[in-house]
Amino acid sequence: MISARASRLGWLLLLFAIGLGGTSGLHADARVIDVHAEVREDSLFLDANLELSLGDEVIDALRNSIALNLLVEAEIVEPREWLWDRALLNDRRRLRLEYHALSRTWMVTDFHARETHTFSQLADAVESLSRVRAWRLGNWASLADRPRLLGKLRVTLDVNKLPLPLRVPALFDDNWDLDSDWFLWGLSEVRR
């Protein structure tokens, strides 16, 4: 039989592991701050500002040569009252943050724009990663005659690009929670 004292001690250790064990450092967080859409050259372009906070575990993983891959998803939809929204345009933009220990530099790669930028400080790399500019979503002509348009944008961690031992913690641990909610905005003001 387990004594009452040992049982209480087990419960206290479990509560400590759940409650206090996870609050030892900063948690990861991602959110969309704002999105600006405009029509240029008969195409719809987006600029977005994100807020990314990397947790201690994410920074440790980056310093140990594990790249952080993010997906920025954008959709233009036509809202409908009785059915789900009709998707008119959608696109994904893949971004990667990685650390090179030999040169002690941080690299931000935007696969959509085919650009890579190098930084000496992590804060500068995260700031660059947080700005998405001149993203061409598609032709405006197919959208111009629609009376109501809604834009949606979010950022998520691409868990499938992580090494296998990190995938489960990335799905359930707040230290890896780099998935934002959908940011919504109306496109009624975006007219030529």
Residue 25 token pair: 């450092």
Residue 170 has pLDDT above 90, yes or no: no
Share of the chain above pLDDT 70, in %: 84
Return the bridge partners of 74, or none.
Answer: 91, 153
Predicted pLDDT of residue 79: 87
User: Binning pLDDT at 50, 70 and 90, where does residue 189 land?
Assistant: low
C-beta atoms surrounding 124 within 10 Å: 14
Residue 48 token pair: 């977005």
For residue 84, the 8-state DSSP code is P
Look at residue 31 and give its three-state secondary structure.
strand
Q: Are 33 and 49 in contact (CB under 8 A)?
A: yes
What b/e readout covers 72-93, taking b as 16+ CB neighbours within 10 angstroms?
bebbbbeeeeeeeeeebbeeeb
Residue 128 has pLDDT above 60, yes or no: yes
Query: Percentage helix, strand, coil, to 5, in the chain?
Result: 25, 40, 30
**CA-wise closest residue to 99 among 109, 111, 91:** 109
User: Binning pLDDT at 50, 70 and 90, where does residue 190 land?
Assistant: low
Of the chain, the end-to-end C-alpha distance in Å amounts to: 78
Residue 13 has pLDDT above 60, yes or no: no
User: Binning pLDDT at 50, 70 and 90, where does residue 191 land?
Assistant: low
Amino acid at 89: L
Give me the phi and psi of 160, to 5 degrees please: -65, -15
Q: Are 135 and 48 in contact (CB under 8 A)?
A: yes
Domain boundaries, given as residue ranges, for the chain: 26-186
DSSP codes of every residue in 122-167: HHHHHHHHTEEEEEEEEESTTTTT-S--EEEEEEEE-GGGS-HHHH
Mean pLDDT of 37-58: 92
Query: Which residue has tokens 């959110």?
Result: 31
User: What is the pairing mode between strands 86-100 and 68-78?
Assistant: antiparallel
